[in-house]
Amino acid sequence: MVAIKAPRGVRDILPDESWKWAYVLEVASEVADLFGYREVYLPIFEDTALFARGIGDTTDVVEKEMYTFTDRSGRSLTLRPEATASMVRCYLEHGMQRERQPAKLWCSGPMFRYERPQKGRYRQFWQLDFEAIGVQDPMVDVETVALSLELFRRLGLSNLEVMVNSVGCPRCRPTYREKLKAYLAPHLDELCDSCRARFERNPLRTLDCKEEGCIEITQGAPDVVEHLCEECRSHFDQFLNGLEAIRASYRLNKRLVRGLDYYTKTAFEVTSGKLGAQNAVCGGGRYDHLAEAIGGPFTPGVGFAAGIERVILSMEEEGASFGERPSIDAFVVTAEASARPKAVSFLHELRRNGLRCDMDYAGKGMRGQLKAASSSGARFACILGSEELSRGAVAVKDLSSGEQREFPLERAAEMLKTILQGQAGG
User: Footprint of RNA on residues 382-401 (CB under 7 A)?
Assistant: 383, 385-388, 395, 397, 399-401
C-beta of 134 vs 203, nearer to RNA? 203
C-beta of 127 vs 299, nearer to RNA? 127
**Is residue 252 within 8 Å of 164, Cβ to Cβ?**
yes
**Is residue 54 within 8 Å of 90, Cβ to Cβ?**
no
**Minimum distance from residue 333 beta carbon to RNA (Å):** 8
**Minimum distance from residue 364 beta carbon to RNA (Å):** 4
Our finding on whether 370 is near RNA (CB under 7 A) is yes
Pairing of strands 251-252, 76-79: unpaired
Pairing of strands 38-39, 103-112: parallel
Dist. CA 384–CA 336, nearest whole Å: 8
Our finding on whether 310 is near RNA (CB under 7 A) is yes
Which of 312, 373, 416, 420 touches RNA (CB under 7 A)? 373
**Is residue 147 within 8 Å of 329, Cβ to Cβ?**
no
Stretch that binds RNA, among 30-38, 112-120, 173-181, 287-295 (CB under 7 A): 112-120
* Residue 125: CB atoms within 10 Å: 20
Give, as ranges, the residues between 54 and 73 that touch RNA (CB under 7 A): 59-61, 65
C-beta of 60 vs 150, nearer to RNA? 60
Our finding on whether 196 is near RNA (CB under 7 A) is no
* CA contacts within 13 A on the Cβ side of 270: 27
**Minimum distance from residue 398 beta carbon to RNA (Å):** 7
Stretch that binds RNA, among 132-140, 159-167, 202-210, 216-224 (CB under 7 A): 202-210
Stretch that binds RNA, among 26-34, 121-129, 155-163, 183-191 (CB under 7 A): 121-129
**Minimum distance from residue 291 beta carbon to RNA (Å):** 18
Our finding on whether 210 is near RNA (CB under 7 A) is yes
**The dihedral sign for the CA sequence 32, 35, 41, 44:** negative
C-beta of 73 vs 423, nearer to RNA? 423
Dist. CA 198–CA 205, nearest whole Å: 7
Stretch that binds RNA, among 87-95, 157-165, 238-246, 371-379 (CB under 7 A): 371-379
B/e letters for 161-181, b = 16+ CB within 10 Å, e = fewer, are ebbbbbbbbeebbeebbebbe
Our finding on whether 337 is near RNA (CB under 7 A) is no
Pairing of strands 357-359, 251-252: unpaired
**Is residue 379 within 8 Å of 397, Cβ to Cβ?**
no
Helical H segments across 333-394, by residue range: 340-352, 366-376, 386-390
C-beta of 71 vs 264, nearer to RNA? 264
Our finding on whether 82 is near RNA (CB under 7 A) is yes
Dist. CA 60–CA 42, nearest whole Å: 23
Our finding on whether 278 is near RNA (CB under 7 A) is yes
Give, as ranges, the residues between 279 and 308 that touch RNA (CB under 7 A): 279-284, 305-307
Our finding on whether 422 is near RNA (CB under 7 A) is no
Dist. CA 133–CA 140, nearest whole Å: 10
C-beta of 120 vs 242, nearer to RNA? 120
Our finding on whether 350 is near RNA (CB under 7 A) is no
Dist. CA 279–CA 5, nearest whole Å: 28
Stretch that binds RNA, among 30-38, 204-212, 226-234, 238-246 (CB under 7 A): 204-212
Dist. CA 414–CA 79, nearest whole Å: 50
What is the maximum alpha-carbon separation in the chain?
96
**Minimum distance from residue 253 beta carbon to RNA (Å):** 12
C-beta of 156 vs 385, nearer to RNA? 385
**Minimum distance from residue 258 beta carbon to RNA (Å):** 6
Q: What is the DSSP letter of 118?
A: B
**Minimum distance from residue 244 beta carbon to RNA (Å):** 24
Q: Could you check whether the bond before residue 174 is cis, i.e. omega within 30 degrees of 0?
A: no
**Minimum distance from residue 119 beta carbon to RNA (Å):** 2
